[in-house]
């Protein structure tokens, strides 16, 4: 836990937060907090700041929260991810949330096993827990929205174009073969909002890539290596962060890794 993430409901009118359950156990047993100790803290979808521990009991930890003047900016990156295997899903969500993303759409695809959609890992509480853990790890306060889509074409061909009809959003679909390196498509230093689509193990099929193209997505390659879903998510989010800083070098071609 690199940031104690508080829900608005944790905070009282007096600015004192009371946390229990997993977070309180972590504070007591792992961080071994004591009254007076200062912690990095933040409010979900709100400001970061400092929490000063007031009382530690077997049931809860209370602390006074002091918010920084300005909340962090809302993340500019969103993900569309073909639903991965259930045991991989938690790693994908936690990784994405730790980098800081606005939202995550989990979608069906030709190479997605339909049994994945009946996994208890898709329960709202499990999804929320994974996102919360990722935010704590990355020191993020923006807890992403997450939505599960059983049908591919309605999302990609209808909902996504409508969602961004009034905005300028860079749309990218990752594909390992015959695609331009990411830095040739997404210019370094660009502050544009970006959505990236990551396929299943084995990649998107041609018909799915055509649907993305019709929806205004440009194909990119993030590495010459063939990556697992969780690795691809980490790689593309790290590369986008580097490109936003404006420090990547444009080259005439070659690997995007």
What string of pLDDT tens digits covers the 257 residues of the chain?
Answer: 899 999 999 999 888 999 999 999 999 999 999 999 999 999 999 999 999 999 999 999 999 999 999 889 999 999 999 999 999 999 999 999 999 999 999 999 999 999 999 999 999 999 999 999 999 999 999 999 999 999 999 999 999 999 887 678 899 999 887 678 888 887 777 667 899 999 998 899 999 999 999 999 999 988 888 889 999 999 999 999 988 887 544 444 443 33
Tell me if 100 sits within 8 A of 143, measured CB to CB. no
Q: CA 173, CA 178: separation in Å to the nearest integer?
A: 12
Q: What pLDDT is attached to residue 211?
A: 96
Q: DSSP character for 123?
A: S
Q: What pLDDT is attached to residue 136?
A: 97
Q: What pLDDT is attached to residue 248?
A: 41
Q: Choose one of 16, 44, 67: the last residue of a domain.
A: 67
CATH number for the domain that contains residue 228: 3.40.1280.10
Q: What pLDDT is attached to residue 165?
A: 79
User: Do 206 and 229 reside in the same domain of the chain?
Assistant: yes
Between strands 16-20 and 60-67, the pairing is antiparallel
Confirm whether 253 is domain-assigned: no
List the strands of the sheet with 180-181, edge to edge: 145-149, 103-107, 77-82, 193-198, 169-174, 218-221, 180-181
pTM, two decimal places: 0.89
Domain count, the chain: 2
User: Do 125 and 19 reside in the same domain of the chain?
Assistant: no
Q: What pLDDT is attached to residue 255?
A: 39
In the numeric block, which tokens belong to residue 215?
Answer: 């929806």
Q: What pLDDT is attached to residue 183?
A: 83
Backbone phi, psi, residue 130, to 5°: -65, -40
User: Do 44 and 112 reside in the same domain of the chain?
Assistant: no
Q: What pLDDT is attached to residue 252?
A: 42
Q: What pLDDT is attached to residue 247?
A: 52
User: Do 95 and 60 reside in the same domain of the chain?
Assistant: no
Q: What pLDDT is attached to residue 190?
A: 67
Confirm whether 251 is domain-assigned: no
160, 7, 91, 216: CA torsion to nearest 10 = 10
Question: 181: Cβ–Cβ under 8 A, 6 or more apart, which residues?
Answer: 220, 221, 251, 253, 254, 255, 256
Q: What pLDDT is attached to residue 254?
A: 42
User: Do 51 and 81 reside in the same domain of the chain?
Assistant: no
Q: Which residue has the tokens 């990236």?
A: 196
Q: What pLDDT is attached to residue 179?
A: 76
Domain that holds residue 29: 4-67
Nearest CA to 174 among 201, 154, 147?
201
Nearest CA to 212 among 122, 107, 113?
107
Q: What pLDDT is attached to residue 246?
A: 75
**Sign of dihedral through CA atoms 19, 25, 28, 31?**
negative
Q: What pLDDT is attached to residue 182?
A: 84
């Amino acid at each position: 836990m690199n940031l104690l993430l508080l829900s608005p409901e944790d905070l009282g009118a007096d600015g004192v937060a009371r946390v229990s359950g997993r977070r309180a156990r972590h504070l007591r047993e792992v961080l071994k907090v004591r009254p007076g100790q200062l912690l990095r803290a933040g409010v979900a979808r709100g400001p970061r700041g400092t929490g000063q521990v007031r009382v530690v009991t077997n049931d809860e930890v209370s602390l006074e929260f002091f918010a920084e003047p300005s909340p962090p900016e809302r993340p500019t990156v969103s993900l569309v991810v073909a639903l991965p295997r259930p045991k991989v899903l938690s790693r994908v969500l936690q990784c994405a949330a730790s980098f800081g993303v606005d939202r995550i759409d989990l979608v069906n695809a030709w190479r997605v096993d339909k049994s994945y959609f009946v996994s208890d890992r898709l329960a709202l509480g499990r999804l929320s827990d994974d996102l919360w853990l990722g935010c704590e790890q990355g020191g993020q306060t923006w807890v992403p929205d997450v939505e599960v889509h059983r049908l591919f074409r309605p999302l990609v061909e209808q909902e996504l174009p409508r969602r961004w009809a009034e905005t300028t959003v860079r749309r990218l679909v990752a594909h390992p073969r015959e695609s331009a390196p990411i830095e040739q498509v997404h210019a370094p230093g660009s502050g544009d909002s970006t959505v990236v689509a990551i396929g299943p193990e084995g990649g998107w099929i041609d018909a799915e890539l055509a649907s993305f193209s019709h929806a205004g997505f440009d194909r990119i390659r993030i590495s010459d290596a063939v990556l697992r879903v969780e690795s691809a998510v980490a790689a593309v989010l790290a590369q986008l962060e580097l490109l936003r800083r404006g420090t990547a070098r444009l080259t005439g071609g070659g690997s995007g890794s």
